[in-house]
Amino acid sequence: MNIIIKNSAEEASAAVAEILLRQVETKPDSVLGLPTGATPLGVYARLRQEFSKGRGRYKDVTTFNLDEYLGLSSEHPSSYAFYMRETLFRHADFKSERTHIPDGLATDAEAEAERYESLISTHGGIDLMVLGLGRNAHIGFNEPGSPHTSRTRRVALASSTLDANARYFQPGSSQPTHAITMGIGTILESRAIVVLATGREKADAIAASVNGPVTDAVPGSALNRHADATIVLDRQAAQALGAVQLLELGV
């Protein structure tokens, strides 16, 4: 696992944006895996900014988002489909038919999960998967206990995840308790993985994911099973990594 530690969340976001830009410059028809949430906002802001300056072309890029809430339409302001359109897709030359997100309104969630999984295969798999990390070390919505071999499926969200994400829902509006998420096994099949984590509240999840043991109890620890995984952190998120480890990293 490669670990990159930057001074600030802004610098860490810029580093991840740079990795994405180089990916699409090297392979214009790249297949990208993308996260939502607070963490990647700085990355997407940077991609918007670069696109407006003429850098980054996405018309041949295919994207697969990690997850979507069950029960929300793509027009719902708290849906991940809405988030992606508003924070990234409509600001660049992404083709809507190439941007994929599980259907939150699917009547048969398991069938939708299977369809999504086979769509990823049909596109030859994911070249570069970008991930955030939950405070409980979840990746996608694979909560602690998810097998590292899990595939795309319907999942129940942990109560700590519901609490952490309550801020994205209007007071009084109902917050979905279930989602469709890419499985950890699905994520691990990506050719390269980049994880961005920033802020003190991610420090323990990072330490547990990096230091092992590799266990289903810590979804982020599955990254140790991947041959090309990079974790990009700000100093706060790196805070709980041991001093020896930081020394080895030259920090």
Looking at the annotation, which residues are catalytic?
67, 136, 138, 143
Residue of 206, 203, 194 whose CA lies nearest to 231: 194
Q: Does 79 bind ligand F6R (CB under 6 A)?
A: no
Q: Minimum Å distance from CB 78 to ligand F6R? A: 12
Return the bridge partners of 233, or none.
5, 197
Picking from 93, 87, 26, 102, the residue whose alpha carbon sits closest to that of residue 60 is: 93
SS3 210: helix
Compute the least distance from the CB of residue 152 to ligand F6R, in Å: 12
| Segment holding 38, helix H or strand E | none
Q: How far apart are the C-alpha atoms of 226 and 191, rounded to whole Å?
A: 9
> Can you tell me the distance from the alpha carbon of 85 to that of 75, in angstroms, rounded to the nearest whole number?
10
**Residue 220 touching ligand F6R (CB under 6 A):** no
Residue from 67, 117, 143, 234 that binds ligand F6R (CB under 6 A)? 67
Among 139, 210, 223, 238, binds ligand F6R (CB under 6 A): 139
Examine residue 176 and tell whether it contacts ligand F6R (CB under 6 A): no
Q: Closest Cα partner for 23 from 104, 130, 180?
A: 130
CB nearer to ligand F6R: give 26 or 173: 173
To the nearest whole angstrom, how small is the minimum distance from the Cβ of residue 187 to ligand F6R?
10
DSSP state of 107: S
Quick check: 162 binds ligand F6R (CB under 6 A)?
Answer: no
If binding is defined by CB under 6 A, does position 100 make contact with ligand F6R?
no
Answer yes or no whether residue 85 interacts with ligand F6R by CB under 6 A. no
- Is 68 a binding residue for ligand F6R by CB under 6 A? The answer is no
Question: How would you class 120 by CB atoms within 10 Å of its CB: exposed for 0-12, middle for 13-18, buried for 19 or more?
Answer: buried
- Please tell me whether residue 36 binds ligand F6R under the rule CB under 6 A: yes
Residue 132 binding ligand F6R, by CB under 6 A:
yes
- Residues lying near ligand F6R in the complex (CB under 6 A) are found at 35-39, 66-67, 132-134, 138-141
